[in-house]
Amino acid sequence: LGCLLLKEFMVFTLSYFTDPYPALVSLVHRSTDPLPLSSHASLFPSTRYVLIHQYVGNYVASSGGSNLIIIVYVFLTHAGYGCTDSLVIAIYSYEPNHNDDLGFEKGDKLKILNKDDPEWFMAESLITGQKGFIPYNFVAPLNSMEMETWFFKNLSRNDAMRLLLAPGNTQGSFMVRESETTKGSFSLSVRDLDPDTGDTVKHYRIRNLDTGGFYITVKISFNSLKELVQHHSREADGLCTRLMKPCQSRVPQKPWWQDEWEIPRESLKMERRLGAGQFGEVWMGLYNNHRRVAIKNLKVGTMSMAAFLAEANLMKELQHPRLVRLFAVVTQEPIYIITEFMENGALVDFLKSSEGSNIPINTLIDMASQVAEGMAYIEENNYIHRDLRAANILVSDELICKIADFGLARLIEDNEYTAREGAKFPIKWTAPEAINYGTFSIKSDVWSFGILLTEIVTYGRIPYPGMSNPEVIQNLEKGYRMPRPENCPEGLYNIMNLCWKESPENRPTFEYLRSVLEDFFTATEGQYQEQP
């Protein structure tokens, strides 16, 4: 509002005093236009004034400086200042793919014109003057900490550990992140190599000085986080290791383009079959020859088209970092479901692979906590999954787990599935009340989560080994529960048994399971490193 009022005041002032100089009025009216000095003077503050002085010409001299505020306004808006809350800088390059989006290079400055779409901002380039939509996650506010490659804004302690331990990072990889518990405070997370436990992550609290500075250890303080990072990049000085390089993070996935929900089949190119299930196949493919996606094609007759569209419209509103993002659908038979692509595929298959079968127990528990986090979101939104198992959890190349196929199970019309004794019904993952009475709830999902935990800790083993489906039903009626799997921590087995309480109301919430598993994971990695 302040920027708007200032601009209106400038227009009035110029109009009143500068009849011979209509170009000046036009200049203020077009204060978002990138005049030449925007691209030439932004690096040299001393040059900015010279260029602006030249731009307004004789008017400045003839006015005797009485209208200096006009010069200040032009100086600020056209030299890259002004309404700084709307100025951003590109932290990644972006190649446009549509008629209405705007391409830019890393480091370019842009002005945000509106944020009507939370994922695609309307912006204007201060380099080219062109306007168009830009992905929200490719830019950061100008002069903010987010411009630094080592700063990660909204990142939890556990997510920091996942990123730092991911491939591409090594000893000395680091990040500074906002504190989860104390607003305005920060933490430093550093990857280290422990001779006993191998790769690990150490965390350091960055404390604030009353005078505005920062310190990790009291013997030395810094005026800024940048100075702190620069110092510890030169020497460890009390840290586990010298800061070597910022945590590597790949270019984020750009948002799905606006209004592309029901898409033509011709826009998809199938490239590689990833797997086949009871109700169709999953393919890796391209959308419009540029966007990597996963494509699930359902066998004809699997579900009613009307029911599917109604459910899909609900599903696309469920958006969370631990849920596979539903992008679009093809609404002619056979139905296609287009989602984000996850490089490592289904969790059950990944755990059996050469890479997955060597994952340590703390990483397995972290995977379980990620699934619990996603299910806590589903729980919070009063939704039900109905088919929670490792086959419906997908894994990225950074070992991020996301829940897939939530809500689809209830739409299936195949008799072999809808009949609970049918060969396709997932008996071994299903709660007793759902088997016996068809009663599905978030609490039956909790039961399934307990079964999924056994899949994770056994690297993809089928539950109830050696038992047929009828034997499982009979044994459950007698109160049987799977014994503790080999190498399963006692604490994790206790969590499984909580999920398998006979009475649904006695089973824990997913929010509780999330918190317990996150604490379980954190305990295996140690707490903050205390500095003298």
CA gap 80, 335 in Å, rounded? 50
DSSP symbol at 245: E
Which pLDDT belongs to residue 54?
A: 40
Q: Cα-Cα-Cα-Cα dihedral of 42, 43, 47, 51, to 10°?
A: -20
Tell me: the pLDDT tens digits for 244-301? 999 987 777 877 876 788 899 999 999 999 887 666 789 999 998 888 999 988 887 7
Q: Which two tokens stand for residue 234?
A: 């030169």
Count up the domains in the chain and report the number.
5
Catalytically active residues are: 387
Q: Cα-Cα-Cα-Cα dihedral of 41, 44, 48, 50, to 10°?
A: -110
| Same-domain status, 157 and 300 | no
| Same-domain status, 9 and 34 | yes
Q: How far is CA 105 from CA 126, 135, 497, in A?
A: 12, 13, 53
Instruction: Answer whether 395's CB lies under 8 Å from 342's CB.
Output: yes
Indicate whether 251 belongs to any domain. Answer: no
Q: How far is CA 319 from CA 54, 227, 287, 335, 403, in A?
A: 52, 38, 20, 22, 11
CA gap 214, 224 in Å, rounded? 6
CA gap 393, 389 in Å, rounded? 7
Indicate whether 371 belongs to any domain. Answer: yes
Domain containing 209: what range?
Answer: 148-246
Amino acid occupying residue 503: S
Give strand pairing partners of 111: 87, 124
- The answer to whether 296 is annotated as binding is yes
Q: Angle at Cα 443 formed by Cα 439 and Cα 448, nearest 5°? A: 90
Model pTM above 0.75: no
| Same-domain status, 423 and 308 | no
Most confident of 90-104, 400-414, 460-474: 460-474
| Same-domain status, 101 and 61 | no
Q: Which two tokens stand for residue 186?
A: 């920060």
Tell me: the pLDDT tens digits for 408-434? 656 554 444 444 444 457 899 999 999
| Same-domain status, 325 and 381 | no
| Same-domain status, 78 and 91 | no
Tell me: the pLDDT tens digits for 336-358? 999 999 999 999 999 999 999 99
